[in-house]
Amino acid sequence: MTQKSLPSLTPTGTCWCGCAKKVGTGSFFAPGHDKVAEAALLAVEYGSSVAQLLHGHGYGPGHSVSARAVSEGVWLTCPACDYVGAPASITNHTKKAHAAAIGDHAQGAER
C-alpha cells in the first residue's frame, strides 16, 4: 500500500480535543468531541473552508482527493456505479442504491 505512513498514536485517557474530560481506555475523544476538534482545526487553520483545506493539501477541481483516496486503497469505488467512499460507506450505498441488483451479496457485509 502506498498510503503515507502516519505516526502511531496512543490514547492518553483524556479527550484529545483538549477539554480534559476523562475518556475510556482505547478512546481518543469523548463522544462527539472528535467532530468538535475537527471543526476547530478547520476554523483555525483554514478559515472553516473545506476548499482552503483541499487547496492547502494540493487538491482541488483539477486534482481529485476522492480519486486519490481510491488509488491509495483507503476508499473503494462502487462496483455498480461511480460512487466512491470508505468501505463502510460503500456497503451502505450499495444497500440503498443497488439493493435489488446486488441482492444477497450485500448481506452480511455489515458488522
Does 39 interact with Zn ion (rule: CB under 5 A)? no
Spatial contact of 15 and 29, defined as CB atoms under 8 Å apart = yes
Residue 94, classified by CB atoms within 10 Å of its CB into exposed (0-12), middle (13-18) or buried (19+), is buried
Contacting residue, 39, 41, 67, 80, with Zn ion by CB under 5 A: 80
Does 78 interact with Zn ion (rule: CB under 5 A)? yes
Residue with smaller CB distance to Zn ion, 68 or 98: 98
Spatial contact of 65 and 59, defined as CB atoms under 8 Å apart = yes
Q: How far is CA 1 from the centre of its chain?
A: 17
CB of 4 to Zn ion, least distance (A): 27
Site residues (CB under 5 A) for Zn ion? 15, 17, 19, 30, 33, 78, 80-81, 83, 97
